[in-house]
Amino acid sequence: MSRQSDPEGAGEPIWELMRRVRKLRGMTQYQLADRLAELSNNSSVSRDEVARWERGKRVPGPYWRQWLSVALDVPAEQLLEAVRYGRLRRASR
């Protein structure tokens, strides 16, 4: 299965994983932000925050990663690995 259709692509930073899986699920950044707010009962997340995560400007912390796991149907461990991979990739630049 190709990485385009497989949400379990290995060796991806969190920003690429989030964007790829969100698009695979047919969601916009607005829809993901709304879904996160609904799931977490916390309206502090916005489309702008999702965009910052997807551009690699910010990294979602553990609180938001647990809800991203549910909203995107991606294992929490995979999101954590993507955070680690992203940090390593940034450090090697």
Residue 3 lies in a domain: no
For the chain, give the mean pLDDT. Answer: 91
**pLDDT digit string (tens) for 6-48?**
444 458 999 999 999 999 999 999 999 999 999 999 999 999 9
Model pLDDT, residue 7? 45
The residue assigned the tokens 């916009």 is 28
Model pLDDT, residue 40? 98
Domain with residue 19: its CATH number is 1.10.260.40
Provide the 8-state DSSP code for 5: T
Residue 33 lies in a domain: yes
- Number of structural domains (the chain) is 1
Model pLDDT, residue 50? 99
Q: Is the model more confident about 19 or about 91?
A: 19
Model pLDDT, residue 10? 57
Residue 2 lies in a domain: no
Instruction: Show the domain range for 66.
Output: 14-91
Residue 68 lies in a domain: yes
Residue 4 lies in a domain: no
DSSP string, 23-76: HHTT--HHHHHHHHHHHHT-TT--HHHHHHHHHTSS---HHHHHHHHHHHT--H
Residue 19 lies in a domain: yes
Q: How far is CA 88 from CA 20, 43, 63, in A?
A: 20, 31, 21
